Structure 1
Amino acid sequence: MTIIKINAITVPAGSGDELARRFAARAGAVDNQDGFEGFELLQPTDERSTWLVVTRWRDEEPFQAWSTSRAFAKGHGQEAGEAPAQKPVGISSELWSYKVAGGSAGSTAQA
């Protein structure tokens, strides 16, 4: 069963381009992780300041393995004993978790 993990990142006005640049610089970093199915960075098209990082995983186990891995820590500037390479762009973030409960024939994820 596919699970969806959404990291809702609130960024200050004018910082969205920097967030997009940082994600582009790490493009493909998670692609070869076991159980990883896809990724999108969603930019708001209205007055909102929250960007969504949407990832799809085969199930919870591979997501947990990746989120506790050294590769995750390194990619997020959280390696033990190291100062962050860059100041975070986001001012807050929240992780949401979903499972696919329905859809259409054209959707990429199946229940």
Structure 2
Amino acid sequence: MIKAVNRISVQKGRVQEVAERFSKAKSVHTFDGFVLMEVLIKEGTEKEDVIEVCTTWEDHESFKAWRESRATQKAHASGDSEKKPQAEDNPILGAELSTYEVFVQHHPETK
């Protein structure tokens, strides 16, 4: 299993505006190999707010298929910030994607 974490830097005070974009299920939830999505809002930041969008996948191939899919391209139509200038009112300052191997998970004991 792998976990993909997209760390999104957001203008201070606009974190709820960006987090709301993830509140409804979208196409990622329909892909083979998709396990779980979590949206985390970092607490106690000073200069900028931070959201981490964490998706868990059965394997790298499933994650890669989702990333390369037409649905993903459409959802991210705004493109790379280096290719297109950011809109003046865009609250997103930047993003960084990392992937991790899930080494171990502990779940509550079943009773």
TM band (smaller chain): 0.7 to 0.9
Partner of 1:46: 44
Equivalent residue letter for 1:38: L
Write the deviation string for residues 32-72 of structure 1: whole angstroms up to 9, x where unpaired: 10100010000112126221000000100011111011100
- Out of 98, 102, 105, the residue aligned to residue 103 of structure 1 is 105
* TM-score using structure 1 length: 0.77
In structure 2, the residue corresponding to 1:102 is in which secondary structure? coil
Contact 2:19–2:51 under 8 Å retained in 1: no
- Structure-2 separation of matches of 1:78 and 1:55: 21
- Which stretches in structure 1 are left out of the alignment for 5+ residues? none
- Which consecutive segments of 4 or more residues in structure 1 shift more than 6 A? none
In structure 2, the residue corresponding to 1:91 is in which secondary structure? strand
Which structure features the higher share of strand residues?
Answer: 2
Partner of 1:18: 17
- Which stretches in structure 2 are left out of the alignment for 5+ residues? none
CA RMSD, Structure 1 to Structure 2 (Å): 2.4
Q: How many residues align?
A: 100
Identical amino acids, percent of aligned pairs: 33
Q: Map of 1:1-16 to 2, 5 A cutoff?
A: 2-16=1-15
**Does residue 90 of structure 2 align to residue 92 of structure 1?**
no
Distance of aligned partners of 1:44 and 1:11 in 2 relative to their CA distance in 1, 3 Å threshold: same
Partner of 2:33: 35
